[in-house]
Amino acid sequence: MRKGLAGQRLVAVFIAGMLLLNYPILSLFDRPLRLFGLPLLHVYLFSVWLGLVVAVAWIVERGAR
Amino acid sequence: MLPGWLIVGVSFSYLLLLFAVAYFGDRRADQGRSIIANPWVYSLSLAVYCTAWTYFGSVGRAASGGTSFLPTYLGPTLGLALAWLVVLKMIRIARSHRITSIADFIASRYGKSHLLGGLVTIIAVVGIVPYIALQLKAISSGYALLIGEHDTLFRAEGPTGWWRDSTLYIALTLAAFTVLFGTRHLDTTERHEGMVAAIAFESVVKLLAFLAVGIYVTYWLYDGFGDLYARAMAAPELANLLAFDGVGRLGYGGWFAHVLLAMLSIIFLPRQFQIAVVENVNEQHLRRATWAFPAYLLAINIFVIPIAIGGLLHFGQGTVDPDTFVLTLPLAHDNAALALFVFVGGLSAATGMVIVEAIALSTMVCNDLVMPMLLRSRRLNLARERDLTGLLLGIRRGAIVGVLLLGYLYFRLAGEAYALVSIGLISFAAVAQFAPAMLGGMYWRGGTREGALAGLLAGFIVWGYTLMLPSFAKSGWLDPGFLEQGLFGLAWLKPEQLFGLAGWDNITHALFWSLVANIGCYVLVSLQRVPTGAEATQGALFVDVFRRADAPPASFWRSGAEVRDLLPLVARFLGQRRTEDAFSAYARSHGFERIEQLKADPELVHFAESLLAGAIGSASARVMVSTVVQEEPLGLGEVMDILDEASQVRAYSHKLEEKSLALEAATAELRAANEQLKELDRLKDDFMSSVTHELRTPLTSIRAFSEMMVDDPDIDVEDRQRFLGIIVSETVRLTRLVNQVLDMAKIESGHAEWHNTDIDMRELVQHSVDATMQLFRDCGAEVHVDMPDSVPLLRADHDRLLQVMLNLLSNAAKFVPRGSGRVDVRLWCDGRNLRVDVRDNGPGIEPALVPVIFQKFRQGGDERSRPQGTGLGLPISRQIVEHFGGRLWLESTPGEGATFSFELPLASAPNER
C-alpha cells in the first residue's frame, strides 16, 4: 500500500515538474526582473529544480522507513 | 603554461589511482564485502551521465544560448522521478532474464531475435561513436591548451601524421585501461564492481574540480553571483543571455523536446543502462538515486552560468572558445595548479564515459553481433572447440579497441568542424530510438518482432537522414548542397526541414520526425498480426514481471538433454571452474550433493540457458542450448498425459463453477424469502394500525355519548334514549369487529374449526335471502331468486357459507338505491362447480377499486359515502370460499351495478384440517 502511494506521489511530482518547467508557466518568469540581484528566470529555474529534488527525496526516503 | 611531461605524468598517476580503486573494488567483491553495495555509490556512478560534454560544453552552451543548456539536466531530474516505476521494472526484468545490454533486452523481449539484437547494436555503435570521439577530442584539446599549444579546443589539426597524434595514444591508453577493467574475466551477470567503484570515484573528482573552478571564478575573480550578474546586465551583448531565449535558437518547443530527449537518454544511453540496470547490486539503491543523482546534477550546474559570464567578461566574445573557459580562465590568471586540477576533472568525465560506454558496446557487439554470426557460419568449428572463454574475451577486447579506434577515426575525419554540444545531442537522439521498443515491450503485450524491427529501422533511418547526414555535410564529407536544396533537388526532402517543417532547431526537428516514424511503424506493424508463441511468452514475462515469482517458465517440451552435455557446453563459454561452481550451487539449492545427481529437467535446461545468456546473449544462448538439447516433440502418450491433466483441471473448475451456481441460487432463494418476510411484517403492521383505527371510531362515539350523559343529568329522556341507542349499536359494531378480526386471524392461521356437512345450496341460499328480507324491505328493494329445481349436494361448513351469503346480500342492500333497488340472486350448476351470483343495481365499483375491496379494512366508495361496515366482510368471505377450493370475484360496470359471484367445486374434497 505504502509503495503504491509513493509511486503515485512520484508521478504527481513528475507531472508538476513538467508543468512548471515548460511553456506556458515557464514563460511567465521570463521577465527582466531581478530577485536578490539575480535574474528572475534563473532563480526560478534553480528553485524549481531544488524543489523537485527535495520533493522526490522526501517521498522516497519516507517510503523507505 | 605547463610542461607536457607534468601533465602526462599527472594523468597517468590519476589513471593508476583509478586502477587501484577498481582493483580494490574487485578484491572486495571477491571477498564478498562489496564497496559498491551502497546507495550513495550507485547514485554517484549514475553521474557517468556527466561527460566531458557536460564538463566543457555546458559553459560553451550557456555562453551562446543562456539557459538552453539546462534541459539536458532538467530532463534526468524529471525522468528519475519516474525511475522508481520504470527503471525498477527494467532491473527486475534484466535480473530474471540475465539481460546484460539494451540489445539483449530488446532481442529477448521480441522472441529472442538475433536480427533485432544486431540492429540495436548497430544503432548504438553508430550513435555513440561520435560521442566517444568527443571525449577523445576534449582530452587532447585540453592537453594541448595546457601546454600552450592551442588557444581553442577546436583548433583544426595540423597536417601531422597520425603516428604523431597524441589523441591516438589517448585512445589506445583508454582502450587498454577499459580492457583491464571490463574484461578481466567473464561473468554471467556482466557486472564489474571495480569499474563501478572507479566511476563513482571519478564522479566525485569531476564534481569537486568543477566546483573548484566555479568558486574560483565567482568568488575569487569576481565578487559573487550578484556582481557577475550586475556586470552582465551592464554589458548589452551579454544581457540577452539572461532572458529565456535571448538568442532565439531554441524556443519553448525546442526546450520541451530537449527535456524529453534528456529524459529518454538517462535510461537508454548504453552506459546509463549498464550502470543503472546491469551494475545495480540492490534495487533499493535506486530509491536514493532518484533524488541524489538529480542533486548531483544541480550541484554541477550551479556555476555554469557564472563561469560563462566570467569568461565572456574577461575575454570578450569571439576571441576564446567558450567551451574552454573552465581551463582558460585559470590559465589567464596564472593559476596553473587549478587548471591542472580542472584538466584532471575533465579527464575523469571523459574516461568515465569512455570506459562504461566501451564496455556496454563491447558486450552488445560480442553477444548480439559477432557471436550470432560465428554461431551461424562456423557452428561446427565452434562445437569442436573445447574452451571458448578465451574467444569470448578476445571478442570483447577486440570490440573495445575497435569502438575506441572508430571514435578516433571519427575524431580525425569529422571532429574539427562541429561543436561539442551538437554531437552529444545527436547521440541522445539516436538512443531515443530505443524508447518505443523498450517501453512498449515493458507495458504492452501486443508488440511483435516485425513491429520492433520496423520501428527501430524507420526511426534510425529518419535520424540518419535528418541529423547524421547533415552533420557529415557540415563537416565537409558530403556536398552540403543537399542541405540547401534537398535530396535530388526536392525541397520537401530538405534534411533539416523535412516536409517543409521549419522553425525548429535541428535536434527537435529530427526527434519529432524520427519518433513519429518509429512509434508509427512499431505500432502499425505490430498490429498486423497477433504475437507468436515466443513473443507472447516473453511479452507476458516482461510486462508482468512484478506479478511473477522467479519460477522458470513452464515448458511443454521434454528435453532430451543430459547433464554431461549441458555442463561442458556452459563451461566452454564461462570456464570450467565458474561453471562447476554455478552448477554445484544449483544442485545444493535443489537438495542434491553432487552435480552428477542432477536430472536434466526443463528447469535445469532453463538454468543453463540463462547462465549462457549472461555471457553470450539470450538469442545465442538459445541457439547453443538447442544444439545439445533435443526439444523432442512430445509423444502421443505424453500429450495424452498433459491433456488428461488439463481435463482434470477443467473438470475440477467445472465442479467449482456448479457449486458456485448452486450457492448463487440458494442465495437468491434466501433473498426472496427475506423479501417475503419483510412484506409480511409490513402487512402485519398495516393490519394492526387498521384494526386499532377501526376500533377507535366506535369507542370514540360510545365514550362521547356516555360522557354527555354523565356530565348533564338533566338531559331529555328522548335524547337519552337516542344516545343509548347509538351506544348500543356502536357496541354491537365493536363486538362484530372484534369477532371478525378473531375470525380472520383464525382462518388465516389455520386454527379455525370447520364443521363439514352435506349441504343443499338451494336451501342455504333461500335461508340467507329470508334472513335478510327485512333489510331489503327497509330500503325498499326487491330480491329475485333464480334457482334450478335441484343442485348436487356440497360438502362444506354450513354456517360459514351462510356467513358468505349474508355478507354478499347485506353488502348489496347497502348499495342499492333507496326505493328502486333490485337484487338478483342466481344459483346454478355447470356440472363441476356450483355458482352463486348476487347482482345489484347500485352505483357499481370503479375498475381501479376492484382489487382493493377484497383487502382488509378497505371499502368501496369515498370517505363520506362509505357505508356502515367493518371492511372485513369481503376478505373473510373470500378466505372461506378459497378454503373450500373455490373462488370469489366481482364483475362491475360503473353506473350499472355490481355482481359478486362465487363458485365452489363439487368434486374436490373440502380442505379439512
Q: What is the pLDDT of residue B877?
A: 86
pLDDT exceeds 60 at position B729: yes
Spatial distance between the Cα atoms of B199 and B686, rounded to a whole number of angstroms: 87
With b meaning 16 or more CB within 10 Å and e meaning fewer, what string describes B867-878? Answer: eebbbbbbbbbb
- Burial-class residue B175 by CB neighbours within 10 Å (0-12, 13-18, 19+): buried
Cis peptide before B270 (omega within 30 of 0): no
Structural contact between residues B826 and B837, judged by C-beta atoms closer than 8 angstroms: yes
Highest mean pLDDT of the ranges A23-37, B599-613, B662-676, B725-739 = B662-676
Longest dimension (CA), chain A: 47
Chain A residues with beta carbon closer than 8 angstroms to that of B309: none
Chain B residues with beta carbon closer than 8 angstroms to that of A30: 243-245
Comparing alpha-carbon positions, the chain B residue that sits nearest to A55 is B291
What one-character DSSP code corresponds to residue B828?
E
Q: What is the mean pLDDT of residues B59-76?
A: 86
pLDDT exceeds 50 at position B909: no
Chain A residues with beta carbon closer than 8 angstroms to that of B81: 10-11, 13-14, 17, 52, 56
Helices in B185-284 by DSSP H: which ranges? 193-215, 224-234, 236-239, 251-268, 270-273
Q: What is the mean pLDDT of residues B100-128?
A: 89
Chain A residues with beta carbon closer than 8 angstroms to that of B225: 37-38
Closest CA to B889 of B5, B898, B128, B172: B898
Q: What is the mean pLDDT of residues A13-27?
A: 88
Chain A residues with beta carbon closer than 8 angstroms to that of B291: 53-54, 56-57, 60-61
**CB-based contact, A36 to chain B, within 8 Å:** yes
Chain A residues with beta carbon closer than 8 angstroms to that of B242: 32, 39, 41-42
For B200-220, how does the pLDDT look when each residue is reduced to its tens digit (9 = 90+)?
999 999 999 999 999 999 998
Longest dimension (CA), chain B: 152
Q: What is the pLDDT of residue B559?
A: 54
Spatial distance between the Cα atoms of B887 and B358, rounded to a whole number of angstroms: 100
Q: Where does the pLDDT of residue B155 fall: very low under 50, low under 70, confident under 90, or very high at 90 and above?
A: very low
pLDDT exceeds 50 at position B556: no
pTM here is 0.67
Q: What is the mean pLDDT of residues A12-37?
A: 85
Comparing alpha-carbon positions, the chain A residue that sits nearest to B70 is A45
Contacts of residue A64, defined as CB under 8 A and 6 or more positions apart, other chains included, come to: B284, B287
pLDDT exceeds 70 at position B174: yes
pLDDT exceeds 60 at position A33: yes
Q: Which residue has the higher pLDDT, B883 or B294?
A: B294
Here the cell at position B271 is 552506459
Is A30 close to B243, i.e. CB distance below 8 A? yes
How far does Cα B794 stand from its chain's mean position? 78
Spatial distance between the Cα atoms of B639 and B647, rounded to a whole number of angstroms: 12
Query: Chain B residues contacting A, CB < 8 Å?
Result: 67, 70, 74, 77-78, 80-82, 84-85, 225-226, 229-230, 242-245, 252-253, 255-256, 259, 284, 287-288, 290-292, 294-295, 298, 302, 305
Q: What is the pLDDT of residue B492?
A: 75
Q: What is the pLDDT of residue B77?
A: 93
Is A57 close to B295, i.e. CB distance below 8 A? yes
pLDDT exceeds 90 at position B463: yes
Q: Where does the pLDDT of residue B550 fall: very low under 50, low under 70, confident under 90, or very high at 90 and above?
A: very low
Q: Please identify which residue in the block is written with the cell numbers 529518419.
A: B462
| Closest Cβ–Cβ partner in A13, A39, A54 for B242 | A39
Chain B residues with beta carbon closer than 8 angstroms to that of A46: 298, 302
Is B70 close to A27, i.e. CB distance below 8 A? no
Spatial distance between the Cα atoms of B870 and B741, rounded to a whole number of angstroms: 10
Closest CA to B107 of B464, B621, B609: B621
For B41-65, how does the pLDDT look when each residue is reduced to its tens digit (9 = 90+)?
999 999 999 888 888 888 888 888 8
DSSP β-bridge partners for residue B785: B825
**Mean predicted lDDT score pLDDT of chain B:** 81
Chain A residues with beta carbon closer than 8 angstroms to that of B229: 34, 37-39
Spatial distance between the Cα atoms of B782 and B807, rounded to a whole number of angstroms: 17
Probe site for chain A from B291, B298, B303 (most A CB atoms < 10 A): B291
Chain B residues with beta carbon closer than 8 angstroms to that of A21: 74, 78, 259
Please give the single-letter amino acid code of residue B162.
W
Is B252 close to A37, i.e. CB distance below 8 A? no
Please give the single-letter amino acid code of residue B401.
V
pLDDT exceeds 80 at position A5: yes
Spatial distance between the Cα atoms of B68 and B243, rounded to a whole number of angstroms: 10
Is B256 close to A22, i.e. CB distance below 8 A? yes
| Closest Cβ–Cβ partner in B226, B252, B288 for A26 | B252
Q: Quote the ipTM score.
A: 0.93
Here the cell at position B470 is 547533415
pLDDT exceeds 50 at position B507: yes
Q: Which residue has the higher pLDDT, B84 or B560?
A: B84
**CA–CA min distance B226, chain A (Å):** 5
Would you say the C-alpha torsion B92, B93, B97, B100 has a positive or negative sign? negative
How big is the A-B interface in CB pairs under 8 Å?
A: 101
- Name which of B126-130, B408-412, B669-673 the model is least confident about: B408-412
Probe site for chain B from A9, A46, A53, A61 (most B CB atoms < 10 A): A53
| Closest Cβ–Cβ partner in B85, B252, B294 for A53 | B294
For B376-432, how does the pLDDT look when each residue is reduced to its tens digit (9 = 90+)?
775 555 555 567 777 888 888 899 999 999 988 888 776 565 555 577 788 889 999
Chain A residues with beta carbon closer than 8 angstroms to that of B284: 64
Here the cell at position A40 is 528572475
Q: Where does the pLDDT of residue B722 fall: very low under 50, low under 70, confident under 90, or very high at 90 and above?
A: confident
Highest mean pLDDT of the ranges B353-367, B599-613, B685-699, B803-817 = B353-367
Query: Which helix (H) or strand (E) covers residue A38, if one does?
Result: strand A38-39
Q: What is the pLDDT of residue B433?
A: 94
Give me the percent of chain B exceeding a pLDDT of 90. 16
Q: What is the pLDDT of residue B438?
A: 92
Q: Where does the pLDDT of residue B636 fall: very low under 50, low under 70, confident under 90, or very high at 90 and above?
A: low
Structural contact between residues B478 and B503, judged by C-beta atoms closer than 8 angstroms: no
Q: What is the mean pLDDT of residues B904-909?
A: 70
Q: What is the pLDDT of residue B159?
A: 42
| Closest Cβ–Cβ partner in A14, A41, A52 for B244 | A41
